[in-house]
Structure 1
């Protein structure tokens, strides 16, 4: 569907997720974007954002009722594009697209089959091997069977294949005994994948695609982690690398991907190649950082889904620190607080100044829980 755009009305139907802040930050940079949010959190901190035109609360309910709420709000507010932003919302709409009253208003999405492959580390590994796309040697283990023989050299990395994030459940083990102890200590509801440990460094490639072709991308090279390199990046450099882009391009073509994704990779220093680790099939921590660096993924996603062809995007090489990253830097070097030019330009501080209430209410809610 092509639309001559001056103003866009966007409905985010899964507004209870933590990435809503980053998506709203990005959309707030563009004039003429009206943001509507459906959320199951009555007092969610994003309710107080000055950039959300209407925050609509519905108690958590059945998928069928949720779809009915989407249909109602699309009609009531003459919504142009429905933009789910996190796993569960995207998956639910893929499964229930036929129940949408206005399915043509749903943003571009991959097939349910390929979405499921991308979101499961075990399925993804099998897909990568089938298509000869570089990835770590791996072994998929059913949780009910302890691995007796592992044909991988130690150390190895173990991860649940799905439904866990933020580094939860990920461990590096150095011996077979540690491996057995890991399985005794953890009882995941899904399979586990054991991967070779790659000596190198971590990167992310953020992408927007349509029918398997890249429309926009940004590459992050990790510089600061929350708690070690198995946890989320809270500081990174934006870089360009053609080899990494070609590898990611081949991956997204193999999945005929439409929409956004956050691809985790690792550079293998021994073999001098990049390898695909996993795909996050939703908006990511630091989505708004890419907009500071020149690529506004949520807005470009809306344009592309509305039949517009976004122009070429040029990333500005820069070093970025999230709020957590800034806090770590201040702790390490208190005098860094005087580096105001960097803080205002290469961190989320400028977003907070323009829209302070969400962060204030988020901080207050954290204090109440302590």
Structure 2
């Protein structure tokens, strides 16, 4: 795929193509517009109004996105041929793990038509298997939760579930494959307090046809505020070139989205940065990675849970922290520039929820005070709060935020006060 040679050529010829239409897609579109004044093409199986109403997005609802890998690849090949015929350069991006998995799995044919800023499938597939991820952590001395793997292809767990120490957390080792399944009782993460609960979850996944491991882990104590998010960008040699991250103030608590942070206070940790640096260098990882980590109050460690082989849904916090994350991809993959090392840790609060939610549902007094100060001092921001965008977009953004308080009440109970 041809490269461009200047920011001016990027503004004239580059077409970012993003699969999936939610918060990361809009964050991409905002960053591409801020950096180059260009519009982003978004292809989704559904109409996400807060994104489709944007004047900076060319939004397409395409049923190929609901018909599996072959249909998506065929659609992308047609799109790539059209863009090339128009003298434009497509930059192909995915919002979800399964998008990136499809792109990487078909990288050889897709990079004839697009710039594809993802690792080869062998590496991607290896480190996204949680069991293998923990093996690498063990090799490097990176802390992770005590873990047992159960093979869901088998009719029985093959482990004495009563001998395990509860409470435990269970989650699929292959989130991309799991995301494509639909069945009653499906949750992103399962919190378990007894052997019979684990047996039930194992049976659900086996019957649903999930043909990978179920990861069962020690429950690391602590609430939302013990969770850390770290986003890194590494160069072709695996060396860290950009980093940002923070302490989760609140995460989504709805069953299908639990574990997705909705409010993050930017906060630097040297230990997290160095652990991620060693991981990326060791496996030769290039591009964006997002690490999910939890602080363990029992021993003061930071326990790594997984690596997402793409920018996380909340990666706009890197832009809020001072580094436009779309520009990193363009400078590296499209323009072939050498990137200086950068950190993005401005004193700010990334938030998808209004101030009222933080006031009513954050239990820790010190953390709540820090977050509320960001609101009162103008240091709290959402990627959707982009002034140049349409009135329609701003309305959909307001409606999305307005529903959050009722949602937290539904899943967390009555407000703190």
Return the offset for 1:302: 1.5
Cα distance in 2 between the residues matched to 1:91 and 1:328 = 35
For residue 134 of structure 2, what is the aligned residue in structure 1?
A: 125
Which residue number in structure 2 is paired with residue 227 of structure 1? 253
Instruction: Tell me which residue corresponds to 1:22.
Output: 27
Distance (Å, rounded) in 1 between the aligned partners of 2:108 and 2:203: 43
**1:207 maps to which residue?**
232
CA deviation profile, 1:19-65 (whole Å, cap 9, x unmatched):
211211222222x342341514585533332223x445654161442
Q: Is the alpha carbon distance of 1:207 and 1:69 closer, same or farther for their aligned partners in structure 2, counting shifts above 3 Å?
A: same
Separation (CA, whole Å) in 2 of partners of 1:343 and 1:171? 38
Q: Is the 8 A contact 1:205 1:217 kept in 2?
A: yes
Q: 1:198 aligns with which of 220, 225, 230?
A: 220
Q: Say whether residues 1:4 and 2:19 are aligned partners.
A: no
Which residue is 2:166 aligned to? 154
Match of 2:345 among 308, 311, 316: 316
1:47 aligns with 2:75: no
Q: State the SS of the aligned residue for 1:34.
A: coil
Q: 1:139 aligns with which of 122, 142, 148?
A: 148
- Indicate the residue corresponding to 1:293 in structure 2: 321
SS in 1 for 2:187: coil
Structure 1 segments unaligned to the other structure (5+ residues):
none
**Where does structure 2 lack aligned partners over 5 or more consecutive residues?**
180-185, 363-371, 403-417
Q: 1:21 is paired with a residue of what secondary structure?
A: helix
2:103 — aligned with what?
A: 93
Aligned twin of 2:385: 351
CA-to-aligned-CA distance 1:49-84 (integer Å, 9 cap, x gap): 2223x4456541614422322322431443345131
> What whole-Å deviation, never above 9, does each CA across 1:344-363 have from its counterpart, x for those lacking one?
54122773433243353578
Q: Which residue of 2 aligns with 1:277?
A: 305
TM-score, normalised relative to structure 1:
0.83
Task: Give the Cα separation in 2 of the matches to 1:146 and 1:182.
Answer: 11
Contact 2:322 2:346 in 1 (8 A): no
Could you tell me whether the CA contact under 8 Å between 1:107 and 1:302 is conserved in 2? no
Return the structure number with greater helix share.
2
- Following the alignment from structure 2 to structure 1, what is the Cα–Cα distance between the partners of residues 303 and 31? 29
Structure-to-structure mapping, 1:39-78, within 5 angstroms: 39-41=43-45, 43-45=47-49, 46-52=51-57, 54-55=58-59, 58-60=62-64, 62-78=71-87
- When normalised by structure 2's length, the TM-score is 0.74
Q: How many pairs are equivalent? A: 360
In the aligned structure 2, how far is the partner of 1:230 from the partner of 1:93? Answer: 26
Contact 1:28 1:51 in 2 (8 A): yes
